Structure 1
Amino acid sequence: MANDYDIDATELLETYDFLMKYIIIGEAGTGKSCLLHQFTHNSFKEHSQHTIGVEFSSRTVKLGEKRIKLQLWDTAGQERFRSVTRSYYRGAAGAILVYDITNRASFLNLSRWLADARALGSPQLVTVLVGNKADREEDREVEWAEASRWAAENDIHFLEASSLTGDNVEAPFLLCARSILLAIESGALDPEKAGSGVSYGDRALRRVNSSSRLSFGSLSGGRRKGGVKIRLPGGSKCC
């Protein structure tokens, strides 16, 4: 069924201001592929199998006046693929770090995943921690407050989402992109520098002589009503 975000059909026609590389990482069984499928196809992925190695997809989003194309690398969580998947971490601008709120072991292993991402990704890597399967509150093994503290201690963003219902699924991808755009505007990140995980798109290059500053506006995914609710480290909310 066609939808407004049929990326495959429009990829050759669309223009964008920035291209950003993301990695989706975390233990096997946390729902990484389902989370990504919900974000790119606006539907739940039934009968999802464990990812073998790495799978690629993309989606173009809009933040204020900027169009950003996201390169999304979904990595396998199984240990036997670790040597393969880690090679895809290199030069990543953003990391979506996923755990399962109903599986405490997936939360306890987060430090290893974060350390690998920071060692191999862009020096300015932006990481968003996602507690997936928020629809299964009755089976919860990791409290929101505990995960929020861990995220704050490690200086990363945090929220919970449900790949089944679609609740808050767009938020981590958009929050990550917005943080990267702000780093570009502040001068902390240079898209022309090798290994930054970001490059200019055709739209930006056409305006290279423009003196206008980046304009972000509000986070905008365009598909779901009610806006995006985001919990930041420390319990505060934005959007």
Structure 2
Amino acid sequence: MKTVAVKIVILGSQGVGKTSLVTRYETKSFQKNTSSTIGASFSNVDAIIDDVKVKMQVWDTAGQERFRSMAPMYYRGANAALLVFDLTKYDTFTDVKAWAHELTHRVEGELMLVVVGNKVDLAEQRVVQAATARNYAASIGAPFFETSALDNTGESS
């Protein structure tokens, strides 16, 4: 079986659920009380996709503004970036646009961008509509997914 190694960086504002999404994927569980990431955390995740073993280095970055200057150190050499925002907070969607702009201007080589709207379980508090996020993602050539780390849902739209 063929094996490929990829580096994935997860970017977004504080509190959008980046760590919760990584934890949900890795452990199939949700931890209600997670502490803020300091700098970044790193994990290795293996998956088999189309008969190819994919060894993923997943970098979960801190969302606090004070750690923003460290981000280039984490996304350097990345193959993909998940740009995560909270569907209930419009400013986090605006922050995703800034991350996408920074990545497209600073990362050399091919970089797959994926836009992720998290917390779809909070439908009654939603402020970023699917069409808005989908249109933005399409404008940067990225797929858009809505997820909930809490209830383990996720779909592209």
Instruction: Give the TM-score normalised by the residue count of structure 1.
Output: 0.63
Corresponding residue SS for 2:98 = helix
CA distance in 2, matches of 1:118, 1:45: 33
Query: CA distance change for structure 1 residues 48 and 114 in 2, over 3 Å: closer, same or farther?
Result: same
Q: Which amino acid aligns with 1:67?
A: K
Give 1:66's aligned residue: 52
Q: Which amino acid aligns with 1:160?
A: E
Is 1:230 aligned to 2:156, yes or no?
yes
Is 1:160 aligned to 2:146, yes or no?
yes
CA distance in 2, matches of 1:91, 1:122: 8
- Deviation for aligned residue 1:111: 1.6
Is 1:146 aligned to 2:132, yes or no?
yes
Q: Which amino acid aligns with 1:150?
A: Y
- Deviation for aligned residue 1:45: 2.0
Give 1:182's aligned residue: none
CA contact (8 A) 1:28 1:76 kept: yes
CA contact (8 A) 1:96 1:128 kept: yes
Give 1:105's aligned residue: 91
Corresponding residue SS for 2:153 = coil
CA contact (8 A) 1:135 1:165 kept: yes
* 1:209-224 alignment runs, 5 A limit: none
Query: CA distance change for structure 1 residues 16 and 35 in 2, over 3 Å: closer, same or farther?
Result: farther
Aligned match for 2:66, one of 72, 77, 80:
80
CA contact (8 A) 2:17 2:86 kept: yes
CA contact (8 A) 1:93 1:121 kept: no
Gaps of 5+ in 2: none
CA distance in 2, matches of 1:230, 1:111: 19
Aligned match for 1:93, one of 58, 69, 79:
79
Give 2:14's aligned residue: 28
Corresponding residue SS for 2:101 = helix
Q: Deviations over 1:16-57 (max 9, x none)?
A: 601100000011110000011101111012201211101001
- The root-mean-square deviation of aligned C-alpha atoms, in Å, is 1.4
Aligned match for 2:105, one of 102, 119, 126:
119
CA distance in 2, matches of 1:60, 1:33: 18
CA contact (8 A) 1:86 1:116 kept: no
Q: Which amino acid aligns with 1:51?
A: T
In proportion to residue count, which structure has more strand?
2
CA contact (8 A) 1:91 1:120 kept: no
Structure exhibiting the larger radius of gyration computed from Cα positions: 1
Q: Deviations over 1:103-153 (max 9, x none)?
A: 111012222111222233342100110000011101101000111111111
CA distance in 1, matches of 2:80, 2:108: 8
The size of the alignment, in residue pairs, is 157
Corresponding residue SS for 2:44 = strand
